[in-house]
Structure 1
Amino acid sequence: MPPRPPKPCRKPGCRNLATDAGGYCPEHKHLADEALALRRSAQDKVRGNAAKRGYGAHWQRVRHLKLRRDPLCAICARAAEVVHHRDGNPRNNASGNLMSLCRECHERLHGRLRTPHSGPNPC
């Protein structure tokens, strides 16, 4: 893929060029990082903590048992790190609803990752 063409920095008054996806030159990149931290902080306040979302002590026990029972990713057979709810309901911890996955396959299922596996067994 060709490199990103340089564009003017998003910082008002800055005459530097930026090739970073955030739109800031190296001198003002910290502004993009600060803005991202603020957005994430606001989102965390809205969504609540893990226990409120259904991932409390009971879930931790269920997750541990599932990973011990099925230590390999159900999609690519790499080491599993995550237990996925097939129906998306974090309170439905029935064994048929749970799936052991590696982090890459889990992120791909949720649409947060679009790159292929770097390992020998692509999903």
Structure 2
Amino acid sequence: MPIAPPSVKPLGTKYRPKPSSTARGYGHEHRKQRSRILDEQPLCQVCRNAFSTDLHHVDLNPHNHADGNVLAVCETCHHSVLHRR
């Protein structure tokens, strides 16, 4: 029985390549919106203490680019407060 090269995962493993950033909702439109909103909201809308670095989608749908669906937040609030990671 031939042995698969190390870069190929054996059948039955749960490996799936990550979709592109555009396919996940973070393409050109998102980058333009992020730049504009972070300029308008330089401080985190949750803690008001740190600079905004991320956009949080309120409805958790990254394909919804409505301005009312996003918050400008710092990385700490985005992960620990809003996503509880």
Give 2:84's match in structure 1, choosing from 108, 111, 115. 111
Give 1:100's match in structure 2, choosing from 50, 72, 79. 72
Counterpart-to-counterpart distance in 2, 1:98 and 1:71:
14
The answer for unaligned runs of 5 or more in structure 2 is 1-14
Between the two structures, name the one with larger relative contact order (CA 8 Å, sep ≥ 6): 2
Percent of aligned positions that are identical: 36
The answer for unaligned runs of 5 or more in structure 1 is 1-41, 113-123
Matched AA of 1:110: H
Q: Which residue of 2 aligns with 1:53?
A: 24
- Structure holding more helix per residue: 1
TM-score (norm 1): 0.53
Q: Calculate the aligned-residue CA RMSD, in Å.
A: 1.2
Q: Secondary structure at the match of 2:31?
A: helix
Q: Does 1:90 align with 2:62?
A: yes
Show structure 1 runs of 4+ deviating over 6 A. none
Counterpart-to-counterpart distance in 2, 1:58 and 1:105:
23
Q: Which residue of 1 aligns with 2:51?
A: 79
Q: Compute the displacement of 1:111 (Å).
A: 1.8
Matched AA of 1:102: C
Q: Compute the displacement of 1:53 (Å).
A: 0.5
TM-score (norm 2): 0.75
Counterpart-to-counterpart distance in 2, 1:94 and 1:49:
21
